[in-house]
Amino acid sequence: MTLPERIGKYAIERMIGRGGMSVVYQAIDPEIQRAVALKVIEKELLDEGERSIVLARFKYEAQAAGRLIHPRIVTIFEYGEDDRNAFIAMELVRGDSVHELLLREHQPALERVREVILPLLDALEYSHAHGVTHRDIKPSNILIGPKGEVKVSDFGIARIESSALTQYGLVVGTPFYMSPEQCMGEDTDARTDLYSAGVIAYELLTGRRPFPGKGSNASVMREVLDNIAPNPSELNRKLNGQMDYVIQKALAKKAEDRYQNAREFADDFRLAIDDCIEGAFLTASAPTTVETPQIGFSSDMLDLARKVRLPNADSLDFTDEPASTPAAEASVPGPAAQEAPKARILFVDDEERILNALKSIFRSKYHVFTATSGDQAFEFLKRFRVHLIVSDQRMPGMLGVELLRRAKELSPTTVRILLTGYSDLASIVGSINEGEVYRFINKPWNNQDIQGVVAEATAIGVELADTAVAAAAPPEKMDEAILVVDPSDSYKRAINELFGDAYHVIHVATLSAALGVMQNRAVAVIVADIGPAQSEDTAGFKLLKQEHPEILSIVLTDASDSELVIDLINQAQIFRFLNKPINYKLLKSHVQAALARYASFKQAPELTKQYQVSGADKLRATSLGRALIENIKRLRSFIPRFR
């Protein structure tokens, strides 16, 4: 091919790439002697009927990408046209693309994958925030500079959301990397780019595309639409269940089931890839003498469950056979009987890769059982005692919140944790109000964090396993007060009307004022109005619960931020949440439940352990934390038996 000497003002040096409609040259801007990449469309090669559409898209490319000034995106310098050509002058990135990287390395090192995917998602987060969807993310469009810097190029079919180019019904993209909605010719948005990024991550991690395809583009698109890709960990033993979760979520067929923005994808991918690099799953998966089958309720599984030794086997209530049978005693021979028994954990999730990942982390330290639905798990709980149940939220048959509610009724001393990849505020609030969860853990988890939380939870479960919990009713009268923390007095009036005849009701405007009252007055229940910006109150709750887990807190809030609620669950052990406007029938029910729980604490003070919190060390070190903790320490030790 004969190179043109000049296009516009640019002197052509060599061709560096060719696409479906365009050619890319390395060229020189003679006015400032700057090397550029010049993307060129020769007008006469375009079909006359489509020429205006193609050139319009090409111009929109320049306008879209020209708005994006970001270190991870190739910079556009100029758009121009002459009689023969339309062209875009852009930053020249000297180096390779991810396409060349994959040709050289079948399965790049995980560190290298991290260095590609996180910058890619950073670029997409920025472009999406500016209303620009790329729509052709593929390895050849991800450039790697000589120092390893990653830049996204070729917004050739990107569109500004207000453009109307898609009215022509054009299906655009590269089949291997196209999202299902692109394959169907449907509307696309930022989640299309996230799908393509997921395909590239899959290819880098495993050395193959999730949908390799054979033959025509149509067959590739059909595979994208109809098939589910194998889990990456099946193709690369260095990967784990967390990475499977992240990639499969990115590759979800329905856009609403995928990551909704690049930041979510990046945060989850970072956790997963770091755990894979550290090899935490490999070191935690040593073989054990106890098999951890998935629940199917075979006779072998039931026998195994009966044989597991617990701190006090006689306290177990097996449905069809007591735990202290000769078979149970014989299951631990000789000296092993002197070893500290392992705690029992039941993990519940409808995704087997998640269960496999959790088993690999915990089976060397605990007896681990798994179930793939809430119904299966509940049937197991009716037969056997466990110290900890960790449940996903969205499962077939029975949601996690319902399972944890039933588990609380069936076995009050079993500690409950909700583990989920969804930040649905209603489900989070339900997990507290109905399931009384000990902690809320997000998928994908951090291995160190989840091991710490599970260790705390199982220790509590083991300690409480032999505690008899009698149903307690709210006392008719009590010396301890109900404290209402509210800048106004509206909720105080409501609490007074509901409980003022039987209980002392005190009103203060802030938690700091509440701490002053509590130095001279015993308090059983706090009802507090907390808004998103009231950081002092949220900090105070965290520190108060560390010192006094027996005080039960009910939060009234109009906050829509699920992170605030999760934070209060994990660090302040809030007893109940109520969204504004307040349903006073629910408010009455929640306060009665808190009073009844407080009465049960008097009967069995060790139950307060389920309401202990930790992890506020950083908060204690702040000036606000120091001031609050001094106030809290001055509180009367009004119920010595709780210590």
For the stretch 340-379, pLDDT in tens is 568 889 999 988 888 888 888 898 889 888 888 888 888 8
Contact 547, 635 (CB under 8 A): yes
Specify the amino acid at residue 598: Y
| Four-point Cα dihedral 64, 69, 74, 76, nearest 10 | 60
* pLDDT value of position 150: 95
**Res. 163: pLDDT tops 80:** no
**Res. 440: pLDDT tops 70:** yes
pLDDT-based confidence at residue 389 (cuts at 50, 70, 90): very high
Contact 178, 253 (CB under 8 A): no
Name the CATH superfamily housing domain 96-281. Answer: Transferase(Phosphotransferase) domain 1 (1.10.510.10)
Looking at the structure, give the CATH architecture of the domain made up of residues 6-91: 2-Layer Sandwich (3.30)
Among the CATH numbers 3.40.50.2300, 3.30.2130.30, 3.40.50.300, 3.40.350.10, which is that of 291-464?
3.40.50.2300
Q: What percentage of residues in the chain have a pLDDT greater than 70?
A: 73
pLDDT-based confidence at residue 381 (cuts at 50, 70, 90): confident
For the stretch 496-542, pLDDT in tens is 888 888 888 888 887 777 777 777 778 889 888 876 545 555 666 66
Contact 233, 244 (CB under 8 A): yes
Residues designated as active site = 136
pLDDT-based confidence at residue 476 (cuts at 50, 70, 90): confident
**Res. 199: pLDDT tops 50:** yes
Domain ranges of the chain: 6-91, 96-281, 291-464, 481-642
Phi (first) and psi of residue 278, to 5 degrees: -70, -15
Question: Per CATH, which fold does 481-642 belong to?
Answer: Rossmann fold (3.40.50)
User: Half-sphere exposure of residue 1, counting CA atoms within 13 Å on the CB side?
Assistant: 9
CA 3 to chain centre: 52
Q: What is the mean pLDDT of the chain?
A: 76
* Common-topology check for domains 291-464 and 481-642: yes
* pLDDT value of position 594: 87
Region 101-121 average pLDDT? 94
Region 153-171 average pLDDT? 50
pTM above 0.85, yes or no: no
**Res. 239: pLDDT tops 50:** yes
Unique residue bearing structure tokens 């500016």: 130
Specify the amino acid at residue 188: T
* pLDDT value of position 619: 44
Q: What stretches of 308-373 show up as alpha helix (H) in DSSP?
A: 326-330, 352-362
Residue 437 DSSP label: -
Which helix (H) or strand (E) is 579 found in, with range?
A: strand 576-579
pLDDT-based confidence at residue 216 (cuts at 50, 70, 90): low
Rounded to 10 deg, the angle between the 584-603 and 490-499 helix axes is 60
* pLDDT value of position 38: 93
Region 304-323 average pLDDT? 33
Unique residue bearing structure tokens 């269940």: 241
